[in-house]
Structure 1
Amino acid sequence: MAEPLPDWQKSFLARNRLPDDYLSHALKWFGPLATALVEHQNSAARTLLVAMNGSQGSGKSTLCDYLCSLLQADYGLASASLSLDDFYLTARERRQIALDIHPLLATRGAPGTHDMGLLSATLDALLGGKPASIPRFDKSIDDRVPGSKWEQVTSPVQVVFLEGWCMGAMAQPVDELAEPVNALEVREDSDGRWRNYVNNSLAEHFSQLYRRVDRWVMLQAPSFECVYQWRLEQEQKLALTRSGNAIMSAAEIAHFIQFYQRLTEHCLARLPARVDHLYRLDKQRRIQSYTSAAEANV
């Protein structure tokens, strides 16, 4: 008879609506990553910031949840998981920059639509061992939830995970911005003002964030073409927790992901060589290989 699952594993599977066999998969692929993070944290003797990149629907949130649960249960390390998505500007703030700068900035997603000051202050608290309030963004209403519903971290943590679809994206050379990459850029950004603003946000604000990161993890999709299907599946999964709120249609998702195409493709091409831990995925999001910078340098 199989041993009963520990409570933390049962809770993790329930939260993420996963079958029991996910755990053996996770142990095989993510156990080495957890061990490496524990060793680095013990050596550094301070709170680590671990950044995670992955296109929409690649499994970043699930992996962060698993690592947080595992580190606490097996190593006694407290952690916090942040999503870049929770630091979007409010709907009102995005409407204002859409008026002031470019209409496409009303749509959340690209750099330039995040509250980088709020993110920096939250990281200051967590990395400094102080209490912190972690904001939450409700995608069903396209707005940040009231502060009374933010997650409260009251005790020091040893590891902070920050996941985001564009984490690690670097500003592109200006000449790479000249040609549009999709119909959205052709129709709605013909003069390139939006993509140049996004690029400047990467250079001015995200580069500062990256200097704080201790370790980089990437879930690498095989191509941008997979993102549409993954995002559609993600939307359907989110619908189960939205209490009847509307979700995006397939056509709306096809339009929405065009906001992400340029930087997603840029990350897929440039980021794998720069991360510390790289997972290569197939079209079904199954892990095909794992490499770490430490192993590559042996």
Structure 2
Amino acid sequence: MDISTFLAAHQLPDSYRDIALKWFTPLADEIFAHQESAKKPVFIGVNGCQGSGKSTLCDFLVYYLSQHKKLNIVSLSLDDFYLDKSSRNALAVKVHPLLATRGVPGTHDVELAQQTFDRLRGYGTVSIPRFNKAIDDPYPVVDWPVIHSPPDVVLVEGWCWGVSSQSKSQLLEPVNILERDEDPLGIWRSYVNKQLGESYQALFDQMSFWIMLKAPSFAQVYNWRKEQEHKLAAKVGASKPHTGIMTDLEIERFIQHYQRLTEHSLETLPARCNYVFHLDETRQITKVDKAV
């Protein structure tokens, strides 16, 4: 199968061809078979920590299923449902200052996500939300892409997508300096955990198939997140003012917001997934576990 157009469009090395053909084409074929026997649209959940490659995986699945299986497929990212800065600043005042930073459960527009899911199940046109990370605010609604609904398959990817909430006892001890110094009473992590256990689970329950790109550990996330930020800087131009590009030190602090739930997901989520791709430090897949 020739995927040269995909590689060129996404500026991927030729080595990705072997990865896609060995690991992701069989996955896509199974999604296709799953879709044929189910009511459409089929919702597929994709979990992976920051920089794990989940966006590229979803891009490949869109390409393969649309070009080679003739399916109508749409890809959503949890990141595109972030609340705007003013809403997060309001949460920072009302609940805890750390909620001004996008990322954790409680900083997304869950209602908009559910509305989007509902519209994708109906007939007509649907605007797909898009968030501009460079300015830390959503794109204007008029700039959101519009698709014809219902699609055959809906991919939904996110760093905490599918993760369960923790017990109260698990929240007691801080997992890093950020939690120790900036959330000593546990107010922030308790709020995040409550949101995750309530409104987010209702979204997760709508997925009928789960995929995970499993990092070797959270320690690798810093390096992968730096790579993402450097690519974003090259794309938008880091020398321009107000781009929101983070320095490496800012990234080191930023990812601490994600540590608790990323580590929790690495321990608990694989048991829920249909496919778990195990990654090494260079993001190469070492093996895949499939649900029986």
TM-score past 0.5 threshold: yes
Q: How does 1:83-162 map to 2 (within 5 A)?
A: 83-162=77-156
Q: CA deviation at 1:155?
A: 4.4
**1:28-81 Cα deviation digits (max 9, x unpaired):** 100111111011100114210000000000001000000001001111101000
Work out the CA distance in 2 between the residues paired with 1:292 and 1:128.
Answer: 32
**Alignment counterpart, residue 71 of structure 1, candidates 50, 65, 69:** 65
Aligned pair count reads: 288
Work out the CA distance in 2 between the residues paired with 1:217 and 1:130.
Answer: 29
Work out the CA distance in 2 between the residues paired with 1:16 and 1:233.
Answer: 16
2:196 counterpart of 1:202? yes
Work out the CA distance in 1 between the residues paired with 2:274 and 2:203.
Answer: 17
> How much is the aligned-residue C-alpha RMSD, in angstroms?
1.4
SS at the partner of 1:104? Answer: helix
Q: Which moved more, 1:34-43 or 1:241-250?
A: 241-250
Work out the CA distance in 1 between the residues paired with 2:216 and 2:83.
Answer: 30
Pair 1:241–1:15, CA change in 2 (3 A):
farther
TM-score for both structures, normalised by structure 1: 0.93
Uncovered stretches (5+) of structure 1, i.e. residues with no partner: none
**1:252 corresponds to which residue?**
250
* Structure 2 residue identity aligned to 1:92: S
* Structure 1 residue identity aligned to 2:248: A
**2:270 corresponds to which residue?**
272
**2:223 corresponds to which residue?**
229
Q: Which moved more, 1:213-222 or 1:16-25?
A: 16-25
Contact 1:52/1:163, CA 8 A, preserved across alignment? yes
**2:285 corresponds to which residue?**
287
TM-score for both structures, normalised by structure 2: 0.95
SS at the partner of 2:174? Answer: coil
SS at the partner of 2:75? Answer: strand
User: Structure 1 vs Structure 2: percent identity of aligned residues?
Assistant: 50
Contact 1:49/1:127, CA 8 A, preserved across alignment? no
Contact 1:48/1:127, CA 8 A, preserved across alignment? no
Contact 2:40/2:150, CA 8 A, preserved across alignment? no
Contact 1:127/1:160, CA 8 A, preserved across alignment? no
Q: How does 1:38-53 map to 2 (within 5 A)?
A: 38-53=32-47
Work out the CA distance in 2 between the residues paired with 1:134 and 1:247.
Answer: 24
Q: CA deviation at 1:14?
A: 3.3
